[in-house]
A and B are shown apart, each in its own frame.
Chain A
Amino acid sequence: GEDVEQSLFLSVREGDSSVINCTYTDSSSTYLYWYKQEPGAGLQLLTYIFSNMDMKQDQRLTVLLNKKDKHLSLRIADTQTGDSAIYFCAESSINNAGNMLTFGGGTRLMVKP
Chain B
Amino acid sequence: DAGVTQSPTHLIKTRGQQVTLRCSPKSGHDTVSWYQQALGQGPQFIFQYYEEEERQRGNFPDRFSGHQFPNYSSELNVNALLLGDSALYLCASSPWEVLLNGYTFGSGTRLTVV
Binding site for B on A (CB under 8 A): 4, 30-31, 33, 35, 40-45, 48, 88, 90, 92, 94, 97-106
List 28 contacting pairs A-B, 8 Å CB cutoff, sorted by A: A31-B100, A33-B102, A35-B105, A42-B4, A42-B105, A42-B106, A42-B107, A42-B108, A43-B90, A44-B105, A45-B102, A48-B100, A90-B42, A94-B99, A98-B31, A98-B48, A99-B48, A99-B56, A99-B99, A100-B48, A100-B56, A101-B33, A101-B35, A102-B45, A103-B43, A103-B44, A105-B42, A106-B42
Asked whether, in the complex, the Cβ of B100 is within 8 Å of the Cβ of A40, the reply is: no
**Neighbouring B residues of A92 by C-beta, 8 Å:** 100
Indicate the size class of the contact surface on chain B.
20 to 34
Q: B50, B58, B108 — which one has the most chain A CB atoms within 10 A of its CB?
A: B108
Q: How far, in whole Å, are A40 and B105 apart by their CA atoms in the complex?
A: 13
**Known A-B contacts A43-B90, A100-B58; A88 and B43 likewise in contact (beta carbons under 8 Å):** yes
Asked whether, in the complex, the Cβ of B50 is within 8 Å of the Cβ of A98, the reply is: yes
Asked whether, in the complex, the Cβ of A101 is within 8 Å of the Cβ of B45, the reply is: yes
Binding site for A on B (CB under 8 A): 4, 31, 33, 35, 40-45, 48, 50, 55-56, 58, 90, 92, 94, 99-108
